[in-house]
Amino acid sequence: MLRYIVKRLLFMIITLSCTIIFVFTLLEFTPGDPAKVILGQTATEDALEAIRIQFGLNDPYIVRLGRYFAQLLRGDLGTSYITRQPIAGAIAARLPLTLTIAFYGILVGSLIGILAGTISAVKQFSLADRVLTFISLFGNSAPSFWIAMLFVLIFAVKLQVLPATGSYGFKYWILPVATIGLQASSGVTRMTRSSVLEVIRQDYIRTARSKGQVEWKVIISHALRNAFIPILTQLSTQFCGYLGGTVLVESVFAIPGIGNYVLDAVKKMDTPVVLSGIVIICAMCSIIILVVDILYAFIDPRIKATYGFGVKKKKTAKAAGGGK
């Protein structure tokens, strides 16, 4: 198990490095002169040259890429062209907020989604199923920023029970969390429904029923656990999707998170910030995916077996998989 985790961790670092190289290279093609971004269009050629030397902009591509990696290893994410402040500090100030809101949103979404999806699957074709399917498809089809504005309209403008924008405490988080929660629960509901539907047709569910087990226990202890892996995958996808698109929700609620920070940088062509922002978001996603991969092993012993305790068990696991 430990060996698997180390292996995955190494693999994650390699993938992440490739991603960094990829994004770094992409941003190389940014039009315009970075020095002018730093000093403005009116700067003199001498001043521009001075800044190019200061930021090392004249160095060849490969040197700058190497320097960026060296910086990353020291925990330095570079310096913003616009504010001339270290990016690491700015991100450290914003990331916790983004992550907290995302975490609560996904938590709320997964609780509601798993419950709704299970009900939907167990009562397939019932009225409840139809209503839940309708709502979850709606959540999948509506843009997050629009849902956010709808919430603001209802709860902040009309009912005036919650603040609309800003981030000064828990009350301010309710609407963003609800927005993410609605979207996440939609995806989770749909995934749970199809996954549970698949599982409750399996023979072992019939076996459990033939033992005289109560139906809701059959669903919880036999069906849900078997259905959980695709649900978990869906959760990690939702989390990453939200982290990437966090800017949409953050911009509606004016949350000073990492999304707004990167968006601002994109508009001002502040490429170091864009690069490091994307790298941090990708790193977060990689970690989530790794954690989920490890969680698989605790849910399904067959996966745990393939994660390796020596060759023999790997074979039996394969045989079991093939027999299905």
Partner 1 sequence: MGENTLLSVEDLVVKYFLRTSTCEAVNGISFTIDKGERVGLVGETGAGKTTTALSILDLVPNPPGRIVSGKIILNGEDVLAKSEAEVRKIRGNDVAMIFQDPMTSLNPVMTVGDQITEVVRLHNDVGRFEAMDKARDMLELVGIPGERYGEYPHQFSGGMKQRVLIAMALACNPKLLIADEPTSALDVTIQAQVLDLINGLREKLGMSLLLITHDLGVVAETCDRVMIMYAGSIVESGTIRAVYKNIKHPYTKGLFGSIPRLDIETERLDPIKGMMPDPSNLPEGCAFCERCPNAIEECKTKRPQLEDIGDGHMVACFNPLKEGA
Partner 2 sequence: MAKKDGYQKEKLGRSQFQLAWIRLKENKFALVSLYIIIAIILIAIFAPLLAPYDYAAQNYDEILLFPSLKHPFGTDQFGRDIFSRVIYGTRYSLVIGLCTMIFSCILGVFLGTLAAYYPKLDNPIMRFLDIFGSIPDMALLMCLVVIMGSNMRNMIIALALYYTPGYARLARAKVLTLRNEEYVEASIALGASDARILLTHILPNAVAPLIVRFTMSTGGSILEAAGLSFIGLGIQPPKPEWGLMISQGRGFLSTNWYYPILPGLCIVLLSYCLNYLGDGLRDALDPRLN
- Kindly list the residues in this chain that would bind partner 2 in the complex (CB under 8 A): 15, 18-19, 22-23, 26-27, 29-31, 137-138, 140-146, 149-150, 152-153, 157, 194, 197, 240-241, 243-248, 251-252, 262-263, 266-267, 269, 271, 274, 277-278, 281-282, 285-286
225 binds, among partner 1, partner 2, none (CB under 5 to 8 A by kind): partner 1
* Angle between helix 170-199 and helix 225-253 axes, rounded to 10 deg: 150
Rounded to the nearest 10 degrees, what angle do helices 170-199 and 127-141 cross at? 130
CB of 157 to partner 1, least distance (A): 46
Fill in the DSSP letter of residue 79. B
- Residue 51 is a binding residue for partner 1 (CB under 8 A): no
Our CB check for partner 1 shows the closer of 36 and 302 to be 302
DSSP structural state of residue 221: I
Q: How far is the CB of 5 from partner 1 (least distance, A)?
A: 21
Closest CA to 185 of 130, 113, 102, 248: 113
Report the residue number, 137 or 214, with the smaller CB distance to partner 1.
214
Longest dimension (CA), the chain: 85
Report, in Å, the least distance between residue 124 CB and partner 1: 8
Distance, in Å, from the CA atom of 167 to the CA atom of 163, rounded to the nearest integer, reads 9
Residues 6+ apart with CB under 8 A from 159: none
> What is the secondary structure of 177-196 as a DSSP string?
HHHHHHHHHHHHHHHHHHHH
* Residues 248, 255: Cα–Cα separation, whole Å: 10
Cβ nearer to partner 2, comparing 118 with 144: 144
User: Which candidate, 170, 175, 139, 172, places its Cα nearest to that of 155?
Assistant: 175
Residue 209 site contact among partner 2, partner 1, none (CB < 5 to 8 Å, cut-off depends on kind) = partner 1
3-class DSSP assignment, residue 86: strand
Question: Toward partner 1, which CB reaches closer, 59 or 198?
Answer: 198
* Contact mark string toward partner 1, 95..134, x via CB under 8 A: ------------------------------x---------
Residue 69 interacts, among partner 1, partner 2, none and using kind-specific CB cut-offs from 5 to 8 Å, with: none
Amino acid of residue 40:
G
Smaller CB separation from partner 2, 114 or 250: 250
What's the min distance (Å) between Cβ of 137 and partner 2? 5
CA distance 161 to 252: 18
| Token representation of residue 5 | 């985790």
Query: Quick one: which segment of 3-11, 22-30, 204-212, 273-281 binds partner 1 (CB under 8 A)?
Result: 204-212
- Counted residue by residue, the chain has a size of 324
Taking CB under 8 A as the binding criterion, the range among 35-43, 112-120, 259-267, 309-317 that sits at the site for partner 1 is: 309-317
Which residues form the interface with partner 1 (CB under 8 A)? 125, 202-204, 206-214, 221-222, 225-226, 299-302, 305, 313, 316-317, 319-321, 323-324
